[in-house]
Amino acid sequence: MAIHSRQKHALLEAYLRVWTQNVAANWGTDSPSLDIFDLFAGTGWCVEREYRKDQWPGTAMISAQQLMQYPTKRKCMLFLNCWAEDDVVRSKNLVALQQRVHTLGFERSNREVRIVSYELSEALRIAVELHSARKQYPNLWILDPYGASDVPWQVIERIAGLVGSYKAKNGKSTSRRPELFINFMTSSLQRNIHNLPMVTSALGCTVPEWKNHLQQVESAGGTFLDALATFYFSQLELVYGRPPFGVKIPGKDGNPVSIVFLAVERDAAWHSVRKESIPHFEQWRLQKYLPRKEWVRTRHKIDRDLPKGLKQAELEDSYQ
């Protein structure tokens, strides 16, 4: 996996700190339940593909680890979908994920894990049924796909439409939408700009709507990336009634690869993300990620100029 992917995983961890630190500090064992649905879980572990020395937990393990720390006495559920087109790869990935979660010791009386391996449509159907059976709010849905075409806008609408009610600490009933963590693959869409069915499916619009929006952005001096970002941003804002958080994920050469959107409805979550999660992530990116990314970028540039088969010396130390 490319080194830049570490950023989206760190952002997810920064968001979940709101639960394991803020909510936990205020409510302790009386904290509300939290269900997490990860529809593109992978193996739960990531290894940097250029030099294979940097390793870090993926979305599945981050979610499991954070839910392990979360002190609520209420039941919490972790739903993980590990899918790959190739049967052999899918089988290996599924076993790896199951072993990692099992080793972590996640499943106990008030923690339930469900690990499946299906295409998105079937995984979503199962996840929605589990959610409907529990009717627990709040809950977080993680959509970290392999490409932009993997998550049609109708999937976003389906999840965001799972509005339910819960009783607050004061006994008052409150409605809430699921919270959404979406890795929006801008690079994939830019490469497939002429594939109109794919672009319109991902954005949730008609071809005339999309072309008109692109023309408006370009006439104002914006880029195709700007058009993608603002359109998706506005789509999420229309659904949630407030702007989502959008964080650009640049590749090792500085060009944006994707944008992570975090859509939340409740006031407390929105302000916590703004005041704590985003600053925590930006500090991590500045202090830990950027130096490491620059090392990989520079070393890769050197290696490209070396005779085939030769590489620079091994990394000195893997950063944490």
For the stretch 260-294, pLDDT in tens is: 999 999 888 899 999 999 999 999 999 999 998 88
Structural domain includes residue 202 = yes
Structural domain includes residue 76 = yes
Q: For residue 309, is pLDDT > 90?
A: no
Q: For residue 6, is pLDDT > 80?
A: yes
Determine the structural domain holding residue 14 and report its residue range: 5-304
Q: Give me the pLDDT at residue 311, please.
A: 53
Q: For residue 307, is pLDDT > 60?
A: no
Structural domain includes residue 183 = yes
Structural domain includes residue 205 = yes
Q: Give me the pLDDT at residue 275, please.
A: 95
76-81 and 35-38: which strand pairing? parallel
Structural domain includes residue 310 = no
Q: What is the pLDDT of residues 71-98, one digit of tens each?
A: 999 999 999 999 999 999 999 999 999 9
Q: What is the pLDDT of residues 186-239, one digit of tens each?
A: 888 888 888 888 988 999 988 888 888 888 888 898 888 888 888 899 999 999
Structural domain includes residue 318 = no
Distance (Å, rounded) from C-alpha 192 to C-alpha 187? 9
Structural domain includes residue 319 = no
Structural domain includes residue 316 = no
User: Token pair of 77, please?
Assistant: 């559920």
- DSSP E strands in the chain: the ranges are 35-38, 45-47, 55-57, 76-81, 111-116, 139-143, 164-167, 173-176, 179-184, 245-250, 256-263
- Please give the tally of structural domains in the chain: 1
pTM over 0.95: no
Of 6-10, 18-22, 217-221, 223-227, give the range with the top mean pLDDT: 6-10
Across 20-34, 165-179, 298-312, least confident range: 298-312
DSSP 199: H
Q: Give me the pLDDT at residue 320, please.
A: 41
What's 175's domain CATH number?
3.40.50
